[in-house]
Amino acid sequence: MDAATVWAERQEGRGIPPEILAKARNNPFHHDVDYFAAPSQPVDTPSRRAALELLADGGTVLDVGCGGGAAAFALVGRITHATGVDQQQDMLDSFAAAARARDLPYRTVAGRWPDVAADAGAADVVVSHHVLHNVVDLPPFVRALTAAARRGVVVEMMTQHPTAWLDPLWERFHGLHRPPSATTDDAVGVLRELGIEPAVQRWERASDRRDPVWVARRLCLPEDRVPEVDAVLDDLDRVRTAATLTWTVG
């Protein structure tokens, strides 16, 4: 199979079966805005450094799947304008508040990429952090990122699906065996099929412990199962390896 098909099949295999999803009392796909808020002091990462290099002379940034704008606002001092794209309005509200607090011109675009690519327009640098593993059909997503960038694109992702560490809990609570995750290598394979040769840098993110309430919701479990989830979280091996994929355009 070609790389795009491999990616799509592995991503589809990470879906939640309808019979489990139907029993969920809360949306397991909703992201808490507080977790994605931009820190007051940017974290120095390979992704930030790659974007700053592309912005050596300053410029504009488009943040796809922006959340609260952590990727974009880590570049304050080099950027003159930031555009944030996200499906959740509360994320865009957080992005807007962070831009105003930094006295940075901004705009927000509500919707799903690449459906809203035309509304988002172009920027000198396009960043997209931890969004690829939410995408099944990767080629149109990547083509739109590239088309929107005047200088280059910086993508940050985990080297495997960011919730793959929960696979033992899917089996424990639902008897569901999860298939292998799509990986950074799979994503790079898709890029190469599109004629893109990205620079790839793997690195370790700081470790954190997810809120058991969030984990229970993600597992489609009711709140009364949170103590059971909390009791086993420390036993899980959580991979924290991330990858920064960078490519230039033009």
Give the model's pLDDT for residue 139: 98
User: Is 80 exceeded by the pLDDT of residue 207?
Assistant: no
Cα–Cα distance measured from residue 82 to residue 104, given in angstroms and rounded to the nearest whole number: 7
SS3 (DSSP) at 3: helix
Q: Which has the higher per-residue pLDDT, 107 or 1?
A: 107
Instruction: Report the pLDDT averaged over residues 169-190.
Output: 96
Banded model confidence at residue 1, pLDDT cuts 50, 70, 90: confident
Instruction: Provide the residue type at 122 as one letter.
Output: A
pLDDT tens track for 118-156: 999 999 999 999 999 999 999 999 999 999 999 999 999
Pair 59, 80: CB distance under 8 Å: yes
CA distances 227 to 212, 215, 231, 236, Å, are 8, 11, 6, 15
| Mean pLDDT, all residues of the chain | 96
Strands (DSSP E) found in the chain: 59-64, 79-86, 106-110, 123-129, 149-158, 199-204, 241-248
Pair 130, 162: CB distance under 8 Å: yes
H or E segment to which residue 120 belongs: helix 117-120
Banded model confidence at residue 35, pLDDT cuts 50, 70, 90: confident
pTM, 2 dp: 0.95
Instruction: Provide the residue type at 15 as one letter.
Output: G
**Placement of tokens 């990205």 in the chain:** 198
User: Is 90 exceeded by the pLDDT of residue 77?
Assistant: yes
Banded model confidence at residue 209, pLDDT cuts 50, 70, 90: low
